[in-house]
Amino acid sequence: MTDVNSSRPSTPRMTVPAASGAPHGGAADEPTPEAVQLIELLFFAYRDFTGDADAILAEYGYGRAHHRVLHFITRYPGLRVADLLLILNITKQSLARVLRQLVEGGLVVQSAGDTDRRERRLHVTPAGRALMRRLVNAQARRIRRATGLSGSGADAAIRRFLTAMIEPETREMVSTLLDLPKLSKDLNGELQP
């Protein structure tokens, strides 16, 4: 399901050629070496951030798709399937398989909507909540450690950076969903906290 190797080497042993200043041919519109380094840092940070959860999910035979679905159902009890599709930006077919496995695993239940019985509302079970707590705790430890090492003001700077990484047309939805300060108001210029 994923291309993850959960075994982490104790001491990295690799020989890599020196990175060139122009990673893809040296054209004037090429990214700066600093931008390429940030890309690489994001790769490594994402690998380790998701690796914490991957190890827990592997105990259940689940992957990252299950984690994302379980996360948003836990955060927003009674979330409609239609809204989850929008949040995750995936197809019904992709969600159906993952959701079926979570329901069969006893982690999620579906119910009909109060006003529209055709609506499917999603809730986590106590077992789903317990798994989600383990996942959040593992990843929160990494975030606390990283922000603690990043100095004062890091949390706000990281939020601005991550929000700026989101496509402009999606920022408002994400800010509303996460109840963030409206960082996406000025989409044409600097993001304002």
- pLDDT tens, position by position, 85-110: 999 999 999 999 999 999 999 999 99
Average pLDDT, the chain: 83
Q: For 128, what's the count of Cα atoms within 13 Å in the CB-facing half-sphere?
A: 26
Q: Flag whether 23 is in a domain.
A: no
**What is the average per-residue pLDDT within 160-181?**
85
Scan for tokens 């931008």, then name that residue: 35
Q: Does 27 reside within a domain? A: no
Note the pTM of the prediction, 2 decimals. Answer: 0.76
Q: Are 68 and 116 part of one and the same domain?
A: yes
Query: Does 170 fall in a domain?
Result: yes
pLDDT digit string, tens, across residues 36-55: 999 999 999 999 999 999 99
- For the segment 113-123, the average pLDDT, to the nearest whole number, is 82
pLDDT of residue 26: 55
| 25 part of a folded domain | no
- Give 19's Cβ-side CA count (13 Å radius): 10
> Are both 178 and 92 inside the same structural domain?
no
150 CB contacts (<8 Å, ≥6 apart)?
157, 158
- Is residue 10 in a domain? no
pLDDT at 9 over 70: no
Per-residue confidence band for 182, with pLDDT thresholds at 50, 70 and 90: very low
Percent with pLDDT over 90 in the chain: 62
69 and 143 in a single domain? The answer is yes
Q: How confident is the model at residue 57 (pLDDT cuts 50, 70, 90)?
A: very high
- The parent domain of residue 42 ranges over 33-149
**Is pLDDT of 176 > 90?**
no
Distance CA 111, CA 151 (A): 45
pLDDT confidence of 11, banded at 50, 70, 90? low
| 95 domain-assigned | yes
163 with 144, same domain: the answer is no
How many domains would you assign to the chain?
2
**CATH code where residue 108 lies:** 1.10.10.10
Q: What angle do CA 68, 122, 176 make, to 5 degrees?
A: 60
* Angle value at C-alpha 171, between 81 and 48, nearest 5 degrees: 80
Q: Pick 115 or 30 by higher pLDDT.
A: 30
Is residue 126 located within the same domain as residue 139?
yes
Predicted local confidence at residue 64, as pLDDT:
97
21 within a domain of the structure (yes/no): no
Q: Are residues 108 and 65 in the same domain?
A: yes
